[in-house]
Amino acid sequence: MRADRLVATLLLLQSRGRVTAADLATELEISVATARRDLEALSAAGIPVYPQPGRGGGWQLVGGARTDLSGLSATEAQALFLLVGPAAAVSNEAKTALRKLVQALPRTFRADAEAAADATMIDSTRWSERERRRPERVQLLQTAVVRRRKVRLVYTSGTRERSERLVDPWGLVDKDEVWYLIAGTDKGRRTFRVDRIVEAEPTDEPSTRPDDFALAEAWDEVVGEVEQRRSRTWATVLIETRFVPILQGHFGRHCHVDAELDDGRSRVRLAAPTPLDIARNLAGWGSQVEVLDPPPVRAQLARIGAELADLYRDK
């Protein structure tokens, strides 16, 4: 759990004075990249943790080594609790870590720190939808990533083709409650949806990972590739300006306002994989949306309109 790691990282820094990302990774049994991100997260949250470049460098708390959390200022304690607090809503381990952290603080800081922890929460239950749970295989795959062990997968692709492969697990990403495994294969780096993994069996064979691999950077590349596939077709439409936010909700980052016109409408650019995908999303708008181009999108809308007219025409 990340909340536990952040607290453990801070305690290590205060007890040792200075640590490297590699030292932290060994101590907490995580990857060097994960250790580096945790250190950066503490720094971004306002904890005075800074990297010291050069030989013999590492990460350290400004002011030198400390043996407990009483060296934190009130502002620093609040920053740490704002960072860790939300995780306590969904994790018993985080709750335990938070209680220990409170007891380690000076008494005068505890009230503000606890208030900071209560300022934000995570509600994992969705409105009017079945509650999603973390796939059981995530823990197995996380262990394989940390211990650097190859995993044998039976995987079902989006086209329902089943395959078996031996992979080097490099990292896991939770994207809007859908988990993805980034792994090395004999054909290079690949991304697997965890919910499409039919079987996952860890092996005793050591896995390999590029020295320069960074999970965040790899995921940015994956997102870029997906977004490129999802924006192969662009269309220009006219819609009343007051409805633009609704259109943006449908198309997300693939919706760009070109201009607001004098007649109360806006010219908007939309993207989707195919002309049919755009037409399907716009058909329900009827005449409230006018497609200016390209012709294939207009043709698909005309076809859909003709089919509906024919289906519901009084006979």
pLDDT digits (tens, 9 = 90+) for 96-146: 666 666 666 656 566 666 666 655 555 555 555 555 566 778 888 988 888
Per-residue pLDDT, 44: 73
Task: Supply the CATH classification number for the domain 231-312.
Answer: 3.30.70
Which residues of the chain, if any, have pLDDT below 70? 1-4, 14-16, 45-46, 54-56, 62-134, 315
Asked if residues 303 and 285 have their Cβ atoms less than 8 Å apart, the reply is no
Buried residues in 118-149 as b, exposed as e (16+ CB within 10 A): eeeeeeeeeeeeeeeeebebbebbeebbeeeb
Q: How far apart are CA 67 and CA 87, in angstroms?
A: 25
Per-residue pLDDT, 64: 47
Token digits of residue 239:
């819609």
pLDDT digits (tens, 9 = 90+) for 223-250: 888 878 778 899 999 999 999 999 988 8
Query: How many residues in the chain?
Result: 315
Domain 137-213 architecture? Roll (2.30)
Residue-range domain boundaries for the chain: 2-117, 137-213, 231-312
Per-residue pLDDT, 303: 95
Per-residue pLDDT, 266: 95
- Chosen CATH of 2-117 out of 1.10.3470, 1.10.10, 1.10.860, 1.10.20: 1.10.10
pTM: 0.50
Please classify residue 280 by burial: count the beta carbons closer than 10 Å to its beta carbon, then call 0-12 exposed, 13-18 middle and 19+ buried.
Answer: middle
